[in-house]
Structure 1
Amino acid sequence: MAAGPLLVLGYCVINSTKSVFEGALVQDLSPEFIAFNSFVVAQAFYFFTLRDKRELKAVIRRCLSDVVMLNIATAVCWIAVLYAFTVFEPAMANSMIIGLGPSVTIALGFRLRPGTKALPLEVVAAGAMLVTMAYLLVVASDGDSAIGDVPTGKIVFGVVMCVLTTISLSGVTYYTKRLGDAGMTVRQMMASRFVVLIVATFVILVARDSFGAYSPGNVGAMLAISLVGVIISLYLLQQGIVRTEPITVSMLFGTNLVITYVVQFVDPRLHQSQATFYGIVAISLAMCLGTWARWRADRRGAEATDQGEDGLAAREEVQA
């Protein structure tokens, strides 16, 4: 059915648009001010729309360490990506964050899942993404990105923020899976997921004295991020995932980069870079290659299992 892919694609469109919107917003407001106000609203929504608060309290007590780690990973992810947008154009920042993902996953897999190995084509795809990221950094340092000249110090800071975002995204995935296996529902996770983020951003606001003005425009922008960019987009993603094959979801995620590049045309401060576009296409193709390789390997494994079971059943019939 087309409903699932359309829901995932809807999420990708919203997420890409939000990235460009946030990239423009952080030029006038601090990342922590945006995150604090946006996620106070989102956290309140998820908490107060969850009916069984007693069960939420019980499951948090039972899985406290993993809930805390999910909170920390979420906080680092959102704060770091907003700071990355202060340095790089959204399309380039998202390209580096997504491009780092496979390499981080492979590296963590040696420790977290020693019994599994990356496929050769997955390693090739991850290597191609790293090479493309190096190319994008050269583009930024040469002043050929949509933002223009970026000082070396800011590039280093932006790369660190992208790395932190990628690592924390892996953490979000890992601890979400652990909590799901422990019986915690998605709604319960969302109702308790942003506490550390809110506390951390408030502390940073006080320490840096980086509060912004609560003007109608700023309040409207942060409400839009919270309601559309967090609450609605995550709902679309969740509904789309349960209706779509994993291979299709992974492929659709690759459209995030292209959509972000296209949406950047509405941001007057950005002068679109053809060099950035080449990098985006390369990373998207590498992502599709790695996803296709994993899908092909899983399908062959399933076919081999089915054939083995059929052969066993046939032998049992002959013996009988």
Structure 2
Amino acid sequence: MRAAPQQPRTNGGRSTSRFALGVLFVALYVVLSAAGEVYAASYFQQADLFVALLVSFAAVCLSFNLLAGHGTGKARVTKPALVAFVSLNLVTAVSWIGLFVGLKYAEPAIVVAFMVAIGPAATVWLNALIRRKGIPPATDIVVSVTIAMIGGYMIWISVSGNAGVQWGPQSSFGIVLAIVAGLSLALTNILVKLLFDCGFSGRQVLAHRFYGTIFLLLGLVDYSSIVLEISQHWPAIAAIGLSTIIVPLLLIQEGIRRVEPFTVNMVLSTAPVITFLFQYFDSRIVPSLHTFIGNVLITIVAVGNVYSQYRRTA
């Protein structure tokens, strides 16, 4: 008896597989970076923040430049691509340094919540403006505004003293940096996607996006403490670099390659609740029901929208 001929895979099947794989890469990024950020927040309480970041990003930049040397990408460096690379260096510096300084002065789950709350709304309009994608769907606008409103609730949690970390004189500084980092992160995802559209490989983008971060840290670091900090805390610095920068960036760039920036931001919106769960391993943070409720609300909206986009792709 002859077997029935195998049906060729449809474009719809390839699209849904690509979408699902892209979401998986971003989800893995969320879990790994959440664990790393909680650990970094605890470490930064007694360590030199800028020395740790300078060493980490210098190692990251060197590693990715070595990897890029073995790549096969042959994209031409046009004027738009050069502008995108310069812009990417600037917003990368703001988003990463803003994130880590924010983690030092505020509850990690709330810092991450601010970043993801502002991201979808910013992505909707920046994507339309920069990549010429036209007016976004009404559902994306509604979802982004809803998440931004939940972010407003998270601000009230912090200011009213209901967060897991006591509100201090520098907490507002940490919150402002988290919001700025969220805007920068949204722009970062779009610029990376734009460079992919121009034909650059993930290795090339990673190799050349941290120069601005390193130059900024060189202006902030205390040079007299570099040798002492490295000699005493090099295992912790290496762990932070691997868990919050190197491996997560490799994961999220594979996600950005396969799905649109708005989808990336929706998956990133699940990060606060994951970060909240990892906070149980940090004894200085008291579990806050208010923070948990805000994180869960953001996650429900985000997961619902990702599922809706998956159905739309199928």
Please give the range of the TM-score, normalised by the shorter of the 2 chains.
Answer: 0.7 to 0.9
Shift of 1:183: 2.2
Shift of 1:184: 1.6
Corresponding residue of 2:156: 138
CA distances 1:116-174 after superposition (whole Å, capped 9, x unpaired) = 223333333223222222221221112111102334xx344233212221221122122
CA distances 1:251-282 after superposition (whole Å, capped 9, x unpaired) = 65444222211110010111110110000011
**What amino acid sits opposite 1:270 in the alignment?**
I
Shift of 1:81: 0.6
Corresponding residue of 2:10: none
**Mean CA deviation greater in 228-237 or 277-286:** 228-237
Shift of 1:58: 7.1
Whole-angstrom distance in 2 between the partners of 1:275 and 1:288: 20
Whole-angstrom distance in 2 between the partners of 1:210 and 1:191: 27
Partner of residue 237 from structure 2, selected from 201, 217, 222: 222
Does residue 26 of structure 2 align to residue 19 of structure 1? no
Corresponding residue of 2:99: 81
Partner of residue 197 from structure 1, selected from 190, 206, 213: 213
- Say whether the 8 Å CA contact 1:46–1:187 is kept in structure 2: yes
Does residue 87 of structure 2 align to residue 69 of structure 1? yes
Partner of residue 180 from structure 1, selected from 193, 196, 203: 196
How do residues 31-50 of structure 1 correspond to structure 2 at under 5 angstroms? Answer: 31-50=49-68
Whole-angstrom distance in 1 between the partners of 2:125 and 2:290: 29
Alpha-carbon distance change, 8 to 170 in structure 1, aligned in 2, over 3 angstroms: closer
Shift of 1:21: 1.2
Corresponding residue of 1:167: 183
Shift of 1:93: 0.6
CA distances 1:27-76 after superposition (whole Å, capped 9, x unpaired) = 12343222211111111111123335998897499943322211111111
- Say whether the 8 Å CA contact 2:120–2:265 is kept in structure 1: no
Alpha-carbon distance change, 294 to 18 in structure 1, aligned in 2, over 3 angstroms: same
Does residue 290 of structure 2 align to residue 272 of structure 1? no
**What amino acid sits opposite 1:229 in the alignment?**
T
**What amino acid sits opposite 2:29 in the alignment?**
Y
Whole-angstrom distance in 1 between the partners of 2:69 and 2:92: 23
Q: Which secondary structure state, in structure 1, belongs to the residue aligned with residue 63 of structure 2?
A: helix
Shift of 1:19: 1.1
Corresponding residue of 2:138: 120
CA distances 1:194-249 after superposition (whole Å, capped 9, x unpaired) = 11111110111159x77583255521111112233322233344456678999986
Whole-angstrom distance in 2 between the partners of 1:54 and 1:247: 28
Shift of 1:104: 1.4
Shift of 1:96: 1.0
- Say whether the 8 Å CA contact 2:117–2:269 is kept in structure 1: no
Alpha-carbon distance change, 134 to 171 in structure 1, aligned in 2, over 3 angstroms: closer
Does residue 119 of structure 2 align to residue 101 of structure 1? yes
**What amino acid sits opposite 1:204 in the alignment?**
L
Q: Which secondary structure state, in structure 2, belongs to the residue aligned with residue 164 of structure 1?
A: helix
Segments of structure 1 that go 5 or more residues without pairing to the other structure are: 300-320
CA distances 1:173-202 after superposition (whole Å, capped 9, x unpaired) = 222122222222111111111111111101
Identity percentage of aligned residues: 26
**What amino acid sits opposite 2:288 in the alignment?**
S
Whole-angstrom distance in 2 between the partners of 1:33 and 1:197: 13
TM-score, normalised via structure 1 length: 0.78
**What amino acid sits opposite 1:203 in the alignment?**
G
Partner of residue 90 from structure 1, selected from 83, 96, 108: 108
Cα root mean square deviation, aligned:
3.5
Alpha-carbon distance change, 164 to 249 in structure 1, aligned in 2, over 3 angstroms: closer
TM-score, normalised via structure 2 length: 0.80
